[in-house]
């Protein structure tokens, strides 16, 4: 009887552990997602990074997740871990942030499109390495930021969208989610196909997210145009409207105007390139978050 009880108890523990491990991750239902460029930008030091994390922690109620440089895509479907950058996830996790590791194309080598084609043709090595690294570091989601400089074909764009769907399925097995950055300055981004891949309702797989870079646009009229394109191309629940603190030097009224227009669309997530944010931005974010714009 005692053995049967112990066996039953062990089975329950294993089942609970499995369910907990596979619990789906996602961005919080509403908020901003700041990107952290770390040492790749602006002569950033470790002290700067610690200070930025402290500022983010002070505004945590407004933040849906924090994205940060961590990985790159290499040749032959390889994942490159950027050991020269601060591993910031352990600094963010104690504050309860959803952590979103970037897989970057920086510094934009001319052969990067070839590397993308290699991973499209043979995705398993990259996907498995990424899943292992995310599990090891306790990272919740990934941000695919691939910006090739070579001209992509329509076939490349379709293959990219198909790859993103595969990546959602693969990481979704572990309850982790995928986001991707898009624009229109290269034909690698087929917004219709990417929207279909990222917003598809897949059983047991967290929703995908799409962050727009065209909405970094500086003139107010161009921002309005690009915002309209974003909300008519990407499902509302998957959309991360991108805005930037750098290199643009937006004043308070400029930032307020952008967040007011975003508020009028009903979109719940805004991605901000990059941290640290000028302090007045947080006042506007707070008003947007609490629907006071």
Q: Quick one: pLDDT at residue 87? A: 98
pLDDT digits over 57-71, tens only?
999 999 999 999 999
Task: Tell me how far apart the alpha carbons of residues 16 and 227 are, in angstroms, rounded to a whole number.
Answer: 43
The residue extents of the domains of the chain are 31-290
Terminal Cα distance for the chain, rounded: 65
Whole-model pTM: value is 0.93
Fold for 31-290, please state it.
TIM Barrel (3.20.20)
Q: Tokens representing 231?
A: 């909300």
For residues 161 and 193, give the distance between their C-alpha atoms in angstroms, rounded to a whole number.
6
Q: pLDDT band at 8, cuts 50/70/90?
A: very low
Quote the CA–CA distance of 135 and 225 in Å, as a whole number: 40
What's the sign of the alpha-carbon dihedral 265, 266, 271, 273?
Answer: positive
Q: Note whether 261 and 293 are within 8 A (CB).
A: no
CB of 101 within 8 A of CB of 134? Answer: yes
Taking alpha carbons only, the member of 171, 211, 167 closest to residue 189 is 211
**Is pLDDT above 80 for 22?**
no
């Amino acid at each position: 009887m005692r053995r049967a009880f112990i066996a039953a108890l062990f089975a329950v523990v294993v089942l609970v552990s499995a369910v907990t491990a596979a619990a789906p991750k996602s961005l919080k239902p509403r908020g901003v997602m700041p990107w952290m460029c770390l040492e790749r930008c602006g002569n950033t030091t470790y002290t700067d990074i610690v200070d930025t994390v402290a500022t983010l922690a002070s505004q945590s109620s407004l933040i849906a997740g924090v994205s940060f440089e961590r990985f790159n895509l290499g040749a032959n479907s390889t994942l490159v871990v950027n050991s020269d950058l601060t591993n910031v996830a352990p600094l963010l996790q104690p504050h309860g942030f959803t952590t979103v590791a970037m897989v970057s194309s920086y510094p934009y080598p001319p052969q990067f499109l070839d590397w993308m084609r290699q991973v499209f043709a043979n995705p398993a090595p990259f996907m498995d390495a990424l899943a292992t690294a995310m599990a090891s570091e306790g990272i919740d989601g990934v941000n695919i930021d691939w910006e090739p400089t070579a001209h992509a074909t329509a076939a490349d764009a379709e293959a990219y969208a198909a790859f993103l769907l595969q990546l959602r399925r693969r990481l979704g097995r572990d309850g982790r989610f995928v986001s991707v950055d898009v624009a229109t300055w290269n034909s690698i981004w087929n917004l219709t196909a990417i929207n279909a891949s990222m917003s598809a309702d897949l059983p047991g797989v967290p929703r995908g997210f799409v962050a727009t870079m065209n909405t970094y646009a500086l003139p107010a009229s161009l921002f309005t145009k690009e915002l309209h394109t974003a909300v008519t191309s990407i499902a509302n629940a998957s959309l991360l409207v991108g805005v930037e603190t750098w290199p643009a030097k937006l004043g308070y009224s400029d930032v307020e105007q952008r967040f007011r227009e975003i508020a009028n669309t009903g979109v719940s997530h805004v991605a901000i390139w990059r941290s640290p944010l000028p302090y007045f931005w947080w006042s506007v974010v707070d008003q947007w978050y609490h629907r006071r714009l």
